[in-house]
Copies of this chain bind each other. A is one copy, B any other.
Amino acid sequence: MKVSHKIFYPPKGFLFAGISAGIKKVPKNDLGLIVSEKVCEAAGVFTSNLFLAAPVLISKQRIKSGKAKAILVNSGNANAGLGNDGIVWAKKTTRALAKELKIKESLVLAASTGVIGEPFPSEKICAALPDLIKSLNPFGYQEFTRAIMTTDTKEKISYRSFRVRGKEIRILGISKGAGMIQPKMATMLGFIITDAKVKSKWLKQLLSETVPDTFNRISIDGDTSTNDSLFLLAGGASRVALAPDQPGWTRFRGALAQVCLELATMMVADGEGVSRYFYVQVKGAKTKPDAEAVSRRIANSPLVKTAISASDPNWGRIIAAAGNAGVKFNPDRVSVSLISDDRKEKVEIFKLGARSKTYRGLELEKKASQILGRSGFQILVELDRGRESFEMITCDFTEEYVRINASYRS
């Protein structure tokens, strides 16, 4: 995976800011803002949890119009589990922002991340808005990124640009998400900004095509938050209009998918207490959902994840997890291999339902263990029952994870 933290030119027509509004206990950035110079096209995807945080309820409603002009985001408080109070508090902040920016409130989206159930500090946020707006600038995306981080240890920014008909199109992706990353919609906030000119209905379609193969195949601990939100905004300042089946569309879709996958991988790699991330590919399933179920079960197994944290090629736990996925297959046809991060080395540890005959001796055990020592390796499970496959991106499970999550509120 290439991760670029260099300075690049963000999509035209957008301003970013991030400041400290005193929401977090320590003086770190905790309030962020993205503003589009013009009303832009917008689409979003939100958590599948039944409990929806107040900003999710509000953004879900407002984004139906397909239009937006600003996104107000905070960390340090999730504004979740507060009932109607939470909605009142959230609207107070988006209303104040709309007033300051002299725009319609319905064009302001919102997102929050942090502790659930604490009263939302709307006063602090409203008081900080003038400073926040003052610091808006086209290169403010790094300050913005810092403002949405919680237990993240790294900023997660992904960027692509390409030319269509001689004109440059830029895509900037920013996300946060470290704990609670999960099957289905991972717990995260994600913001993808482009200066391409794309109608909101196409943005919506793009998200539904792209998310299943990117954000939805990562897993850290199997829990989903109440606040997951992914926004895609297209401002149009590049003056390149894009639509399906037209020139540039495939490249745009490809670049967007790369940004999403890069952000998703960064999120797994920076999961709470994660020492390495890896891939779980299941091949030869009868159906795609079967492949996905087996892959998810292995990727979410605490026993597999703790073994990996110790570089232990414990295939017993891998097959035990596979056998628990609720998917029918013949155990005697199953094989498991470990493939190195550079895809050059392959050790078959389990073959046709039994410990592989070739997997004997300290040397191979050592090699297998070495493969597990580096982020990016792959566990390949072949079911030999059909032609469908699925690959999850997941991570190991360390004592540090427990330490972080036991002390999160203290």
Residues on A lying within 8 angstroms of B by beta carbon are 48-52, 78, 80-86, 115-117, 179-180, 182, 221-226, 300-303, 306-307, 309-310, 312, 314-317, 319-324, 328-329, 331-332, 350, 352-355, 397-399, 401-403, 405-410
Task: Please list the 6 inter-chain residue pairs (A to B) with the smallest Cβ-Cβ separation, ordered nearest first.
Answer: A116-B316, A83-B354, A50-B323, A306-B405, A310-B406, A51-B323
Closest CB in chain B relative to A192 CB, distance in Å = 25
* Interchain CB contact under 8 A, B180 and A49: no
In the complex, which of the residues B82, B303, B402 contacts A221, with contact meaning CB atoms closer than 8 Å? Answer: B303
Residues of B near A303 (CB, < 8 A) are 179-180, 221, 223, 405
Residues of B near A51 (CB, < 8 A) are 319-320, 322-323, 331
Across the two chains, which residue of chain B brings its CB closest to A78?
B316
Closest CB in chain B relative to A169 CB, distance in Å = 37
Also in contact, A410 and B117, with CB within 8 A (given A224-B320, A354-B81, A355-B83):
no
Closest CB in chain B relative to A352 CB, distance in Å = 7
A222 to B299, CA, bound (A): 13
Chain B CB within 10 Å — which of A49, A321, A329 has the most? A49
| A interface SS class | loop
Residues of B near A49 (CB, < 8 A) are 320, 323-324
Residues of B near A352 (CB, < 8 A) are 83
Closest CB in chain B relative to A113 CB, distance in Å = 12
A315 to B51, CA, bound (A): 12
In the complex, which of the residues B222, B324, B397, B408 contacts A402, with contact meaning CB atoms closer than 8 Å? Answer: B397
Residues of B near A319 (CB, < 8 A) are 51, 81, 116, 226
Chain B CB within 10 Å — which of A48, A117, A317 has the most? A117
A52 to B310, CA, bound (A): 26
28 residue pairs from A and B, CB less than 8 Å apart: A49-B323, A50-B328, A50-B329, A80-B320, A81-B350, A82-B355, A83-B352, A83-B354, A115-B316, A116-B315, A117-B314, A117-B316, A222-B302, A223-B301, A224-B324, A226-B316, A226-B319, A226-B323, A302-B302, A302-B401, A306-B401, A310-B406, A310-B407, A310-B410, A312-B406, A312-B410, A314-B409, A397-B402
